């Protein structure tokens, strides 16, 4: 296989995804991340389309890139015009990039109905634009828009269009599945035809994901003779997105021996997640290679298998792309899952086979009640310590009350009172909050701070509620999941009850207990001292 090029269009095609709006600084940050990753080309936007992209290209001139080249994107000249008078081509030249990518029509249907011009004039638009930009000293890439659909309807005209681009001096001819509906068999056959028709051209693929085949179509185009792939980080793009280069790159490098990123491949997960943060899009946990669940095992048989030999249930080594393996704890867990989980916790205790059986039974009992420990490692450790008899008792609950009313003001007020025993002391504290969970948390902290100063650092950073029995209406069981942070570490806890206030209270208690344990606070109930 020829040298494969990766052309990233996250900042242009990816920015057309619903819910994404990159600022100038966002784009500059992403350019640096993509350069560090090692992609060959970065399409930074469409100069002149908006003031933001104009500024991006201005500031990008000052970037010292190690691996990537910036490309500007635009289209061919207008029908019946001259390239030297065309405003779009003028803006592309003002971007002062070495590479300019322009798209042109290759489907006769679009020529007649979108451009409303003749087929011959469209070929002239392609040829004139490329020749003009090349004469201005630019490397020109040609995106053959709707090529595959155009070929299926009128193969001879589609081929004439890419021939016109190639003969005019385009350095790359990129075949586009713009509607994203082609099958891999179609992509392979049509790409092979173009490769034979233009044997000295560098052929590329630009696939959209409307049929959920963009990655497969990109890979098979390479096998058919293409050597240039366009795509986006995390598959961002219009409608269903573009080909996801976070899947394409590791597939090529790890399965087809195409060295694209070298050792930089281990930074793929971090890059994916950093760009999802910049895009303000929640990362897809189930994304191949880079998702947080990509190497997560729940079934006992699976967990046992990967611990003996990872290839039993993993197609690659997670670390090769910067990911990690996770073993989930649930009612499906076997002894191997529990032992693996405990070994990673480093709690420094002996763990017998009989202890494992006890833990599994407790997990099954709690999950039957509605608890889940998949995303609640802190609650799992506390449960484990309780089963083994080494859970520190920092305080005992004697009762709590939650009141919510408007007090005639129209403003909803929530007040919580808690009665707890710390050592030999009984404390009764009251606090207000924005809601029941906040009020309970504040009241508990108020009672415990004099005994455990570390609690001052704990902050609830996330609060999620899940109704477990939808058919039971307002009497349904509720699961509350809480994430807490001390400014450095984060931990997750869970509580379940038919009363949402009690569910929140149980999750908050675990949150406080685990935080105190992590900070090695000594319990006032001094008969339990094992804090390993």
String of DSSP letters for 304-354: HHHHH-GGGT-SS-GGGGT---EE--STT--HHHHHHHHHHHT------HH
Phi, psi for residue 67 in degrees, rounded to 5: -125, -25
Of the candidate ranges 67-71, 203-207, 311-315, 476-480, the one whose mean pLDDT is the lowest: 476-480
pLDDT band of residue 530 (cuts 50, 70, 90) is: very low
Residue-wise burial string across 381-412, b where 16 or more C-beta atoms lie within 10 A, e elsewhere? bbbbbebbeebbebbeeeebebeeeeeeeeee
Average pLDDT for 383-396: 86
What does the mean pLDDT of the chain come to? 89
pLDDT range class, residue 78, cuts 50, 70, 90? very high
Confidence of residue 110 (pLDDT cuts 50, 70, 90): very high
pLDDT score at 435: 83
Q: What is the pLDDT of residue 258?
A: 94
Q: Given this model, what pLDDT does residue 18 score?
A: 95
What's the burial of 274, exposed, middle or buried (CB within 10 Å: 0-12/13-18/19+)?
A: middle
Mean pLDDT of 452-464: 88
What six digits make up the tokens of 231?
A: 């795509």
pLDDT at 528 over 70: no
Q: Is 472's pLDDT higher than 60?
A: no
pLDDT value of residue 184 = 98
At residue 296's C-alpha, the angle toward residues 294 and 298, to 5°, is: 140
What is the pTM (predicted TM-score) of this model? 0.73
**Which tokens is 417 given?**
């009172």
Q: Determine whether 115 is exposed, middle or buried from the number of CB atoms within 10 Å of its CB (0-12, 13-18, 19+).
A: middle
Residues 6+ apart with CB under 8 A from 109: 150, 153
Residues 6+ apart with CB under 8 A from 312: 302, 305, 306
pLDDT, one tens digit per residue, over 397-419 is 888 998 888 766 667 788 999 99
The strand ranges marked E within 436-489 are 459-467, 478-485
Please report the domains of the chain, with CATH numbers, ordered by start residue: 5-278 (3.20.20.70), 296-367 (no CATH), 396-518 (3.30.160.270)
Q: Which of 29-38, 331-340, 407-416, 448-457 has the lowest mean pLDDT?
A: 331-340
Alpha-carbon span 390 to 393, nearest angstrom: 9
Mean pLDDT of the region 242-259: 96
Q: d(Cα 107, Cα 119) in Å, to the nearest integer? A: 9
Q: Which of 328, 330, 327 is nearest to 365 (CA)?
A: 330
CA distance 20 to 271: 17
Percent of the chain with pLDDT over 90: 61
Q: Are 386 and 365 in contact (CB under 8 A)?
A: no
Alpha carbons within 13 A on the beta-carbon side of 86 = 21
pLDDT category of residue 525 using cuts at 50, 70 and 90:
low
> Could you report the per-residue pLDDT of 142-191, keeping only the tens digit for each?
999 999 999 999 999 999 999 999 999 999 999 999 999 999 999 999 99
Quick one: average pLDDT of 451-460? 90
Token pair listed for 524: 């006032």
Average pLDDT over residues 379-404: 86
- Which band of pLDDT confidence, cut at 50, 70 and 90, is reported for residue 363? confident
321 pLDDT band (50/70/90 cuts)? very high
């Amino acid at each position: 296989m020829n040298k494969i090029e990766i052309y990233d269009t996250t900042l242009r095609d990816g920015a057309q995804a619903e819910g994404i709006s990159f600022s100038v600084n966002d784009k500059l940050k992403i350019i640096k991340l993509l350069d560090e990753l090692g992609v060959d080309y970065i399409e930074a936007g469409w100069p002149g389309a908006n003031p933001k992209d104009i500024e991006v290209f201005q500031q990008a001139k000052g970037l010292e890139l190690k691996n990537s080249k910036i490309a500007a994107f635009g289209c061919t000249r207008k029908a019946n015009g001259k390239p030297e008078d065309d405003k779009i081509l003028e803006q592309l030249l003002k971007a002062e990039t070495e590479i300019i990518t322009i798209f042109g029509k290759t489907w006769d249907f679009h020529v007649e109905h979108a451009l409303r011009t003749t087929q011959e004039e469209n070929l002239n638009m392609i040829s004139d634009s490329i020749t003009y930009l090349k004469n201005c000293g630019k490397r020109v890439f040609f995106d053959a828009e709707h090529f595959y659909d155009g070929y299926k309807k009128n193969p001879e005209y589609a081929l004439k269009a890419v021939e016109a681009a190639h003969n005019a001096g385009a350095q790359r001819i990129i075949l586009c599945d713009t509607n994203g509906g082609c099958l891999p068999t179609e992509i392979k056959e049509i790409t092979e035809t173009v490769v034979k028709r233009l044997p000295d051209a560098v052929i590329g693929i630009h696939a959209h994901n409307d049929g959920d085949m963009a990655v497969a179509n990109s890979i098979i185009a390479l096998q058919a003779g293409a050597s240039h792939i366009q795509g986006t980080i995390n598959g961002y793009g219009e409608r269903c997105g573009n080909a996801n280069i976070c899947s394409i790159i590791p597939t090529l490098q790890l399965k087809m021996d195409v060295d694209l990123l070298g050792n930089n491949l281990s930074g793929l997960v971090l890059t994916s997640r950093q760009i999802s943060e910049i895009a303000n899009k929640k990362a897809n946990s189930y994304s191949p290679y880079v998702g947080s669940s990509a190497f997560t095992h729940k079934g006992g048989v699976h967990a046992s298998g990967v611990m003996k030999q990872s290839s039993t249930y993993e197609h690659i080594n997670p670390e090769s792309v910067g990911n990690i393996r996770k073993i989930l704890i649930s009612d499906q867990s076997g002894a191997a899952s529990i032992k693996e989980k405990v070994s990673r916790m480093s709690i420094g205790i002996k763990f017998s086979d009989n202890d494992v059986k006890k833990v599994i039974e407790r997990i099954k009992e709690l999950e039957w009640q509605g608890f889940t420990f998949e995303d609640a490692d802190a609650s799992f450790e506390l449960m484990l310590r309780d089963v083994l008899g080494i859970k520190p008792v920092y305080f005992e609950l004697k009762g709590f009350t939650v009141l919510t009313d408007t007090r005639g003001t129209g403003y909803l007020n929530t007040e919580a009172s808690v009665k707890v025993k710390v050592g030999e002391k009984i404390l009764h504290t009251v606090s207000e909050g924005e809601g029941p969970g906040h009020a309970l948390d504040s009241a508990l902290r108020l009672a415990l701070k004099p005994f455990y100063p570390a609690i001052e650092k704990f902050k609830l950073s996330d609060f999620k509620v899940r109704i477990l029995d939808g058919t039971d209406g307002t009497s349904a069981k509720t699961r509350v999941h809480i994430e807490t942070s001390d400014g450095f570490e984060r931990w997750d806890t869970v509580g379940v009850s038919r009363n949402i206030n009690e569910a929140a209270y149980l999750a908050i208690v675990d949150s406080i207990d685990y935080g105190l344990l992590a900070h090695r606070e000594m319990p006032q109930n001094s008969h339990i001292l094992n804090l390993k």
